[in-house]
């Protein structure tokens, strides 16, 4: 499971995602294998939480994936 998080200013982080299994922060870098796995996982239905802890619908996930590299 993965989660979006907020920057200190309250905005949704637009450069990394948190992997909840180990607390790792994964940068949005196409060369990063963890990032590629994140994209594959959530596209296949692995849950993604918004910064408030709500599980996103697959439609919301698909829209989010279109906004990142």
The tens digit of pLDDT for each residue in 16-44 reads: 999 999 999 999 999 999 999 999 999 99
pLDDT of residue 61: 97
- Label residues 6-31 b or e (16+ Cβ within 10 Å = b): eeeeeeeeeebbbbeeeeeebebeee
The Cβ of residue 39 has, within 10 Å, a number of other Cβ atoms equal to 19
Query: Helix or strand or coil: residue 35?
Result: helix
Q: For residue 31, give every residue at least 6 positions away whose Cβ sits within 8 Å of its Cβ, in sequence order, or none.
A: none
pLDDT of residue 26: 98
């Amino acid at each position: 499971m993965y989660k979006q998080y907020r920057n200190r200013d309250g905005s949704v982080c637009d450069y990394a995602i948190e992997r909840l299994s180990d607390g790792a922060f994964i940068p949005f870098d196409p060369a990063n294998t963890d990032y590629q796995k994140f994209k594959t996982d959530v596209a296949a239905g692995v849950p993604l939480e918004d910064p408030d802890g709500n599980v996103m619908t697959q439609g919301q996930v698909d829209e989010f994936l279109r906004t990142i590299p």
